[in-house]
Amino acid sequence: MSSRPRRTLVLAATLGAALAFGAPSALAGTLPVVPAAPFAAAKAPAAAPASQSATWAAGTRAYLVITAPGDNPSVRAAVAANGGTVFSDYAAIGVIVAHSASANFAGAMRGVTGVQQVGATRTSDVPADAYNPALPANPSQSTTPTGEPVRADMSQIKADQAWAVTTGSASVKVGILDTGVDDQHQDLAPNFNAADSVSCAYGKPDTRAGAWRDVGNHGTHVAGTVAAAKNGKGVVGVAPGVKISSVRIAEPGSSLFFPENTICGFMWSGDHGFKVTNNSYYTDPWQFNCPDNADQAAIIEGVRRAQEYAERKGSLQVAAAGNENYDLANKTVDTASPNDSTPVTRTITNACLDIPTELPGVVTVAANGEGTTKASFSNFGRGIIDVSAPGSNVYSTVPGGKYASMSGTSMASPHVAGVAALIASTNPGITPAQIREKLALQANDIACPSDSRCTGTTANNGFFGEGQVDALKAVGATPPPGRFFENLGDFAIGDHTTVESPITVTGVTGNAPATLKVGVKIVHTYIGDLKVDLIAPDGSIYTLHNRAGGSADNIDTVYTVNASSEAAAGTWKLRVNDNYRGDTGRIDAWNLTF
């Protein structure tokens, strides 16, 4: 589990399985037990294990050395000259993982020509296991009786209805970046892709067979929610026809997910063609990384570059929001960091980031409780949460052929990863940005409850984002009521300019309805500058937004227009006029529902 207490509460285990958790880590999706005595504080990694190498030395710490992308032999030479060794090198993004026992290493390297940032990734020593990693255990497997009833979480997001259309494509690969996966589990083995599985513990790929296996049970549980096979026994995942690969980024013993491990995982995902990755953790040891701290600034930059690399290669990252019932849009204090040594209480601001959850391009997932409620533990935040999914009492696979129920945003995130995999399956060639858009557009709106912490609109708010994901809509079987048309293309909005995005409507006879739904998503830093009109095929103008909202960012709203006098068929346009200088943006997406 990873450093933020995103731990999973084990509610039930079948077949007599006794599931015990090791030292707490930052697993995003796992809910701590109250009073959570066993999970109260993360423990530092144990002393040198039996597999220690002669190259290991007490006091060795890990560092990210950030340079310009490309080969940097002079920087690598400087690492050695300043008392360090290069443990791994990701030249494509300009990130070197260095080890050193010198207390002066970071300061010395920050003065080296070509070095942009340097940051320690831990406040504890690198374990000796990093130099000669032990393989995780391969557990013996229990036999599961036949029968796989549809679970409440699957029917809640209409996955069971989506399977009648498609169970997902075997050409779509989903990476499970987690504690590892039990690839021998009878419900996972049919869909497991060993060729693209790896351990990234300690920050470089370990491709030995079995290195990817679970050092806990969290990753196996997540994998089952994404893609457990539809084989007549156990459980069924959201996308039971896709392939899953394990990228173990948790270290044994501590179960922590350090920055170099996350970087390795994202780079592997991009290079191995993962269309989607699930990230139910936060990057240890800092629950929030603050850019005014040199170490944490380097962590932000290194992980950000790796995530962007994966996305450029076609991979969408889905991440859990966390389980502290914390407002991520109004950060004030962090009491859980660093979790690999002794946590301290520190004042923070919104500039401090939970990563990878808050990195640009990552889909951030909140947890629903029963039905469409907010799970009591789920983090929230206006402008942070993208979508929500079931995260309470989720029943899924655990190692050894067993099953258990767990709660947490770690359990919500793989539901969304599964829906994203279905979208990719039914839309070959789709980009990560387009999958993000479809997840948002096809989610079912959930209004704020009577809770002052929930801000925003029914269409987009701090508890549920764009709403709860819908697998049936994702496979295109049942579009929103009426015929649905959309344009996901980006159209830049410059200062004092007018831009139009078209949608051509075909196959709809007669006039448009009196309740034409116009979904608009505009990214802009001052919406008070904007006038937004819907232009009918005959040129009639329907004003949707007229320079309201002042300095607020972005328009993300569904408007209702009485267009009953307009012929439905033809080319409709969304026209945006920027009326003042200094702020720009883009039409991100828009749609029409007849």
The residue type of 547 is R
Q: Could you say which of 410, 413, 425, 501 is catalytic?
A: 410
Q: Could you say which of 185, 218, 272, 415 is catalytic?
A: 218
**DSSP code, position 494:** -
* Residue of 544, 416, 572 lying closest to 484 (CA atoms): 572
Burial 535-568 (b: 16+ CB within 10 A, else e): bbbeeeebebbeeebeeeebbbbbbebebeebeb
Token pair 């049936």: residue: 472
Does residue 99 carry a catalytic annotation? no
Beta-ladder partners of 468: 388, 444
3-state class (DSSP) for residue 277: strand
Q: Sign of the CA dihedral 220, 396, 240, 279?
A: negative
Q: What is the 3-state secondary structure (H, E, C) of 414-471?
A: HHHHHHHHHHHHHCCCCCHHHHHHHHHHCCECCCCCCCCCCCECCCCECCCECCECCH
3-state class (DSSP) for residue 398: strand
Q: Could you say which of 125, 153, 178, 354 is catalytic?
A: 178
Per-residue tokens: 460: 């987009």
Contact between 547 and 579 (Cβ < 8 Å): yes
Per-residue tokens: 90: 């990701």
Provide φ and ψ at 350, rounded to 5°: -65, -10
Does residue 334 carry a catalytic annotation? no
Residues 6+ positions from 452 with CB-CB distance below 8 Å: none
Does residue 272 carry a catalytic annotation? no
In angstroms, rounded to a whole number, what is the distance separating the alpha carbons of residues 298 and 301?
A: 5
Give the DSSP H or E segment for 247: strand 243-248
In angstroms, rounded to a whole number, what is the distance separating the alpha carbons of residues 51 and 133?
A: 7
Contact between 367 and 408 (Cβ < 8 Å): yes
Q: Which residues are catalytic?
A: 178, 218, 410
